[in-house]
Amino acid sequence: MTLSVDDVKRVANLARIEISEEESQQVLIQLSGIFSLIEQMQAVDTSHIEPMSHAQDMIQRLREDVVTESDQHILFQSIAPQVEASLYLVPKVIE
């Protein structure tokens, strides 16, 4: 798989990372290196291997359905830039 500078810019945009033209060229080389490593790994026949979804071979523990958290919004909101009517205020975004 070959990656273009446009792909790099698109991914950067999706990840909300600002990168310069020069940086994109560098990142392109680095990412292309990663992709060739992935290609190398994909060449291995894994058809008889069960896919692994987690690095640790353990199973998820579950919690009982009880309310254990109390209201701490005053503490949490003490570090928020702007608050009103116990809401966090953010620049207006309408999708």
Partner 1 sequence: MQWEIVIGLEIHAQLSTRSKIFSGASTAYGAQPNTQACGIDIALPGVLPVLNYSAVERAIKFGLAVGATINSPSIFARKNYFYPDLPKGYQISQFELPVVQGGHINIQVEDIEKTIRLTRAHLEEDAGKSLHEDFHGMSGIDLNRAGTPLLEIVSEPDMRSSAEAAAYAKALHTLVRWIGICDGNMQEGSFRCDANVSVRPHGTEKLGTRCEIKNLNSFRFLEKAIDFEARRQIEILEDGGNIRQETRLYDANRDETRTMRSKEEAHDYRYFPDPDLLPLNISKEWIEQVKAMLPELPEARHNRYIEDFGLSGYDANVLTATREIADYFENTVKQLPAQAKLCANWIMGEVSGRLNKENIEITHCPVSPAQLAELLARISDGTISGKSAKDVFDSMWQGEHGSSADAIIAAKGLKQISDDNEIEKLIDEVLAANPQQVADYRSGKEKAFNSLVGQVMKVTKGKANPAQVNTILKKKLLE
Backbone angles phi, psi at 83, to 5 degrees: -140, 140
Does residue 48 interact with partner 1 by CB under 8 A?
no
- Return the number of the residue (10 or 30) whose C-beta is nearest partner 1: 10
- Per CB under 8 A, contacts with partner 1 among 8-47 are 14, 16
Q: What 3-state DSSP class applies to 93?
A: coil
Query: For residue 14, what are its two tokens?
Result: 């999706």
- Binding region for partner 1 (CB under 8 A) out of 1-9, 23-31, 33-41, 78-86: 78-86
Does 82 bind partner 1 (CB under 8 A)? Our answer is yes
Instruction: List all residues 6 or more positions away from 86 whose beta carbon is below 8 Å from its beta carbon.
Output: 73, 77
